[in-house]
Amino acid sequence: MTARGSSSRIPTDGVFAAGDANGDGFDDILVRDFGLILGGTDPLSSDVPTLDDLPEARVRRFEGFDYGSGPEGQVVFYPIGDVDDDRRADFLVNGSLIDGFGPAYLLLDAFATPDPLTLGNLRAQPGVPVVFPGGAVSGAEGLGDVDGDGIDDFALPGARFDAGSFDSESVGVLVYGSRGFR
């Protein structure tokens, strides 16, 4: 990661594109074991020694999360595009179980939840949709707009309809985004 042409000391392993999570017109960055770094017109200074030294206005902390593909037993955060057409990036949060499958929550507004965001306070938020209630998923993939309605869609490459059964067959599921997705 560079800032104003010089290398910063922010680690680059575990850095993922997040899309525009806060709707300001600038793409944001997910950083493993940290959270969201907000994009903007003012570049990050190369004088920032650690992520904890970033200005509060440029950070949204997510505690206890991994991004993209996490180990079994870890909560994983997947950028999936803008599935509710509100001009902010959305995320699927997967609390994986021992076999890599677990409940999935659709985070449509990363800024309407307590800071820092944890799986516990995400579960407690009213209106946070659960994808596949009673089932379990092992991940998500943003696909862009596959049905031509102008709204992003996403796939659940591994989904089980019965979360309590380790023998249930895993299927792939395509989820179409829609305005006011809930």
| Any domain includes 181 | no
> What sign for the dihedral angle of Cα 24, 121, 118, 166?
negative
More confident call, 84 vs 49 = 84
More confident call, 60 vs 47 = 60
Amino acid identity for residue 24 in this structure: D
**Mean pLDDT of all residues belonging to the chain:** 75
| Distance between CA atoms of residues 111 and 117, nearest Å | 9
* The predicted structure's pLDDT at residue 145: 95
Summarised one tens digit per residue, pLDDT across range 72-116 is 456 677 889 999 999 999 988 877 554 566 778 888 887 777 777
| Distance between CA atoms of residues 83 and 74, nearest Å | 24
* The predicted structure's pLDDT at residue 96: 59
How many domains, the chain?
1
| Any domain includes 171 | yes
Is residue 96 within 8 A of residue 84, CB to CB? The reply is: no
| Any domain includes 180 | no
| Any domain includes 167 | yes
Domain housing 143:
2-175
